[in-house]
Amino acid sequence: MTTAEQQLLEILHTKGALDEVKRKRLLDAYIEASSPPKMSYEEFLKWADGKHTEWVKGMVILMSPVSFFHQNIIEFLIAILRPFVEKWQLGLILAAPYQMRLEESGREPDLMFIRQENLSRITKNYLNGGADLVIEVISPESINRDRGEKFYEYEKAGIPEYWLIDPIRQEPEFYHLDARGRYQLVRPNEDGLYFSKILTGLELPVSWLFEPPPVIEALRTLGIIP
């Protein structure tokens, strides 16, 4: 048994409020021991090979498994946004684990939209540059990344629209890039509808994100099918 495996067993058997400090120290040591060394983005792509990971300034970030609520939101959005985009020939919707290559990172957004005129930036293993719309569903371990690091990375990359969806608090946040290149929070209207800047014509009932209707019903409401 390796040292990292021994540490993980200690973590799993450490219980009680008095042991929280020890638990955190052991968990940090395990993550450090099990994380791969620094590498170039090209080396990362070969190493990752479908793993749920991201790359930031040479460091590999290991991602936690997602929850049912996280996955349910993503699958619902895929089910309605792909037909919407295809009907109006707007571009392409892509989902994780496909990479988005930015200046100093390789991120793996839950969902991203690429406009028709930018489809040439899609390569075999990653999107070369920022998407036109990025959607992240927050999980407990990703809060700091999604609201902090990624927020500023996406803003700096000039990604015009960023959705942050919190399934625990059941609160979405929609950001549009302003003329100064800064994200501004855009709220739904009084009827609870969110109007996308990038997905032209999309009027999304915010309640759908947390209590999704049947997909067929949603597609009819959006005018995608009769």
Structure-token match 């929070």, residue found: 185
pTM of the predicted model as reported, rounded to 2 decimal places: 0.80
In this structure, the answer to whether residues 104 and 179 fall within a common structural domain is yes
| Confidence (pLDDT) at 198 | 98
Residue 41 resides in a domain: no
Residue 61 resides in a domain: no
In this structure, the answer to whether residues 116 and 23 fall within a common structural domain is no
Q: Which long-range contacts (CB under 8 A, 24 or more apart) does 104-107 make?
A: 104/56, 104/57, 104/153, 105/54, 105/55, 105/56, 105/57, 105/153, 106/41, 106/44, 106/45, 106/54, 106/55, 106/56, 107/54, 107/150, 107/153
Residue 158 resides in a domain: yes
Q: Encoding tokens for residue 160?
A: 């015009």
pLDDT along the chain (226 residues), means of 10: 49 51 54 66 79 80 81 97 97 95 94 98 96 93 82 97 94 97 97 97 97 97 96
Relative to beta strand 59-62, strand 53-56 is antiparallel
In this structure, the answer to whether residues 28 and 78 fall within a common structural domain is no
Residue 49 resides in a domain: no
DSSP result, the chain: --HHHHHHHHHHT--SGGGHHHHHHHHHHHHHHHSPPP--HHHHHHHHTT-SEEEETTEEEEPPPPPHHHHHHHHHHHHHHHHHHHHTT-EEEEETTSEEE-SSEEE--SEEEEEGGGGGGB-SSEEES--SEEEEE--GGGHHIIIIIHHHHHHHTT-SEEEEEETTTTEEEEEEE-TTS-EEEE---TTSEEE-SSSTT-EEEGGGGTSPPPHHHHHHHTTS--
What's the CA gap between 30 and 78, in Å, rounded? 35
How many structural domains compose the chain? 2
Query: What CATH number is given to the structural domain containing 180?
Result: 3.90.1570.10
The residue range of the domain holding 25 is 1-34
| Confidence (pLDDT) at 100 | 97
The Cα-based distances of 199 to 71, 84, 93, 144, 209 in angstroms read 22, 9, 11, 27, 17
In this structure, the answer to whether residues 30 and 76 fall within a common structural domain is no
| Confidence (pLDDT) at 21 | 56
Q: Which of 115, 123, 125, 124 is nearest to 93 (CA)?
A: 115
Residue 207 resides in a domain: yes
* Terminal C-alpha separation, the chain: 60
In this structure, the answer to whether residues 120 and 75 fall within a common structural domain is yes
Phi and psi angles of residue 194, each rounded to the nearest 5 degrees, phi first: -105, 130
